[in-house]
Amino acid sequence: MIVATTIEDVRREVSAWKREGLTVGLVPTMGYLHEGHASLVDAAVKSCDRVVTSDFVNPTQFAPGEDLETYPRDFEHDCALLEEHGCDLVFYPSVDEMYPDGGGTTDTYVEILNDMPKQLCGKTRPIHFRGVCTVVSKLFNIVMPDKAFFGQKDAQQLAVIRKMARDLSYGIEIVGCPIIREADGLAKSSRNTYLNADERAAALVLSKAVFLGQSMVQDGEKDARKVVKAMTDLINQEPLARIDYVEAVDGVTMKNVEAIAPPTLFAMAVYIGSTRLIDNFAVEA
Ligand code: AMP
């Protein structure tokens, strides 16, 4: 596996592949990789000739006071996992390489101007999706992949990226991949490492709420408010949990819905102690 730390190196390697007529898949990540990330790499390896994974904790998607400085990192472990899963190149740039003005800021952002990035996570993280769109846009411009792979775990992010790719005519296929969970149900997340033993146990309330909601929908419930209420009530029984939001939205526009029909998305963010975790399920056609 090639380790590239500069944009120039990535461009040179990818251009050589493209000259050979090979297809390229991109998996954007913030590192501290786990089996959730690995599943995206597996999907990319399956459907592309060459796979690039970016490993970059992107400062522009963190607001002051969020966990930018403490975000977990382990590049050696990331490389081992990526190699094992058949990634061809890991892009591991410095902050200054990605944001040449210095300080991890930029004068030029990519931002969706409708309400979509203001819903759900956007309510507590108002600049988050602007940062995500900006860094993913830059990665698209650097790698120019045929396909890019994102997890359904971050359902709003996936919807935002799909919209951005369409609006800006990127011509890149955006592939959504299912949520990978721990054996007991907790969605895998780099942030799970923040949880102490009591919080880890309490965090199960998110996936329990997902499974409860899913079973209500499977049993024919059509009223989104009833499902949201049942999920909310369940989470509120956990003393260590504090709900940021539990909502039913259209999975494409992120607008709230009352009647359940595909592509309804039930999404939540819940603080377990001081750690904010997210989970969701989509109603399939
Ligand atoms: P992150 O490193 O947290 O920014 O995540 C990078 C990519 O991995 C995003 O597209 C996430 O949605 C995806 N991802 C993170 N956790 C999971 C998971 N448990 N299952 C599937 N995809 C995931």
Residues 210-220: tens digit of each pLDDT: 999 999 999 99
pLDDT value at residue 156? 98
Choose the catalytic residue: 37, 77, 85, 128: 37
CATH of domain 2-177: 3.40.50.620
CA 161 to CA 167: how far, in whole Å?
A: 10
Does 2-177 match 190-279 in CATH topology? Answer: no
37 is catalytic: yes
Residue 41 in contact with ligand 1 by CB distance below 6 A: no
Mean pLDDT of 160-168: 98
Collapsed DSSP state (helix, strand, coil) of residue 261: coil
Residue of minimum CA distance from atom 18 in ligand 1: 36
Residue 50 in contact with ligand 1 by CB distance below 6 A: no
Domain boundaries of the chain, sorted by first residue: 2-177, 190-279
- Cα angle 23, 38, 59; round to 5: 90
Q: How close is the Cα of 34 to the center of ligand 1, in Å?
A: 9
Give the count of beta carbons closer than 10 Å to the beta carbon of residue 97. 15
From the candidate CATH numbers 3.40.50.300, 3.30.9.40, 3.30.1300.10, 3.40.50.2020, the one assigned to the domain spanning 190-279: 3.30.1300.10
Nearest to 90 by CA among 175, 177, 29: 29
Of the residues 40, 92, 265, which should be mutated to test ligand 1's pocket, given the most ligand atoms within 8 Å of the CB?
Answer: 40
Q: How close is the Cα of 19 to the center of ligand 1, in Å?
A: 31
Query: Which run of H or of E encompasses 205?
Result: helix 204-218
Mean pLDDT of 172-191: 98
Q: How close is the Cα of 150 to the center of ligand 1, in Å?
A: 7
Buried b (16+ CB within 10 A) or exposed e, 259-285: ebeeebbbbbbbebeebbbbbbbbbee
Does the predicted model carry a pTM greater than 0.85? yes
pLDDT value at residue 12? 98
* 67 CB burial (10 A radius; 0-12, 13-18, 19+): middle
pLDDT value at residue 149? 99
Mean pLDDT of 150-157: 98
Q: How close is the Cα of 243 to the center of ligand 1, in Å?
A: 21
